[in-house]
Amino acid sequence: MRQATVETRVPYPILVASALRPDHTDDIRTEVTNDVVRTTIERPGTASLQSTTDDYLVNLQVAINLHDAITNRYETESNTTTATKESHQ
């Protein structure tokens, strides 16, 4: 068996780990410790380990980008609402 471990420090690790778990097989384990998402991937060969790790990294980036986009939109809408309220006073 071949193994790879990916550790990613993010400010919202539980959300990222939750977004990634549905895609996991029995060969993938994810845990959260403080602000780190740690995923261990085990595959029978190097090529399948590389392919699975690549898929995981793409999904990880999508989860991070989605969270950031939602957060930025919420912050923008909150700032716009506050500015609109202030201009009407």
DSSP string for residues in 4-34: EEEEEE-S-HHHHHHHHGGG--TTEEEEEET
Tell me if 89 is assigned to some domain.
Answer: no
Domain that holds residue 24: 2-84
**pLDDT value at position 24?**
74
> Helix 13-20 and helix 46-87: axis angle, to 10°?
130
Tell me if 33 is assigned to some domain.
Answer: yes
* 31 pLDDT higher than 60: yes
Q: What is the mean pLDDT of residues 13-32?
A: 88
Domains held by the chain: number: 1
**CATH of residue 19:** 3.30.310.50
* 58 pLDDT higher than 70: yes
| CB 2, CB 50: distance < 8 Å | no
CA–CA separation, 42 vs 47, rounded Å?
12
Q: What is the mean pLDDT of residues 58-84?
A: 77
Tell me if 44 is assigned to some domain.
Answer: yes
Structural tokens at position 31: 């845990």
